[in-house]
Amino acid sequence: MAELKHAPLTLLSAEERAFADEIYKFAQREVAPHVARMDEESKLDSSIIPKLFEMGLMGVEIPEQYHGVEGSFMLATLAVESLARVDPSVAVVVDVQNTLVNNALIRWCNEEQKSRILPKMTSEWVGSYALSEPSSGSDAFALKCRADRVEGGWLLNGTKLWITNGGESSLFIVMANTDFERGYRGITSFIVNRGAPGFTIGKKEDKLGIRASSTTELIFEDCFVADDDVLGEVGKGYKIAIETLNEGRIGIGAQMVGLAQGAFDYAMKYMLERKQFGKPIAEFQGLAFQYAEVATEIEAARLMVYNAARLKDAGRPFLKEAAMAKLYSSNVAERTASMCLEFIGGVGFTKEYPLEKFYRDAKIGKIYEGTSNMQLDTIAKLLRAEYK
């Protein structure tokens, strides 16, 4: 990997810069030695998650009173980006934990729930966000998972698919419909613990990329959830889903920027060392113009992601900016990984070098937490509203 001096400097305070540097050093030291094996085995090394908790990376925004870091959304964004430079699989574990699960818990848990749950999220519990189903992907509110009222709580029945961290999680935020006659206004969020009767972790997906990150099916068969584990209000789950995913897209943007930077770091180091016709291949104009353009695109994507994160932290509207950041950064990551693989030639096509993995990992950026077409649709709707 490239030396730390190549890390981005864009728009960071001294504190943020130091934080990003520390996480990148941690990733190089604790994650990098395991990356190839984790990818091959499609499983996280057992040492990784405990160390993520020790570093405070699993509770970046959680308040100190619950043993969290009480940092900004920007810090969570930087953590994801820094980890993704080394392994996007580990980055997405931290991303989902912070931008989706913890974000929802902080905003919608009542005080009793916060006291009971948040300290666990900072010390030992990995979380998952369970919205997608076999019949509801981009049309997220077409979900069929149901919750029927019983004494003291609810019975959940249905199946969830594509659930990140499913293999490691102890807590799941599950969306189910309590009243199908009300359509999406019947959707409610439930907190479900691993091991709950009637709840089973199903098939683990065998994926193209981010293979060390588990993606699983969840099965609910008369799974009882007490009233105390309803997140927010009954029938307001759609609001939680929409608002949380808007923030999650910034996290995916950060993952894609980190991935692109990691691929670029490796390619540049190689091109400066590899000599042909008596000089480093980085000095040939045919390559120089190409990697200069790639670097420019990475910087533009980073600026978009940071801008969306800053807007979120400032409490200002950021929906359009988040959609743009995810759309553009996922395009840049895929193009960067492809170009960097070509820059280093035939060896880049082998598993001995990391670029083929970055290339495989990049593809998911255009798909999860809202496909590129859904981002375009969101951006277009907001633009129409602005110009009316």
The residues annotated as belonging to the active site are 369
- What does the alpha-carbon distance between residue 103 and residue 240 come to, in Å, rounded to a whole number? 10
- What does the alpha-carbon distance between residue 259 and residue 245 come to, in Å, rounded to a whole number? 21
- What does the alpha-carbon distance between residue 149 and residue 147 come to, in Å, rounded to a whole number? 7
The residue written with tokens 């995913």 in the block is 245
Contacts of 226 (CB under 8 A, 6+ apart): 152, 153
Cβ(344)–Cβ(290) below 8 Å? no
162 φ, ψ (degrees, to nearest 5): 65, 40
- What does the alpha-carbon distance between residue 154 and residue 179 come to, in Å, rounded to a whole number? 12
- What does the alpha-carbon distance between residue 90 and residue 97 come to, in Å, rounded to a whole number? 11
Tokens standing for 111?
A: 């005080």
149: number of Cβ within 10 Å: 12
154 φ, ψ (degrees, to nearest 5): -145, 150
Alpha helices in the chain (DSSP H): 14-26, 35-41, 48-54, 73-84, 88-95, 103-108, 111-123, 237-273, 285-313, 319-343, 355-362, 372-387
Cβ(208)–Cβ(358) below 8 Å? no
Contacts of 108 (CB under 8 A, 6+ apart): 189, 231, 232, 240
Give me the amino acid identity at 310. Answer: R
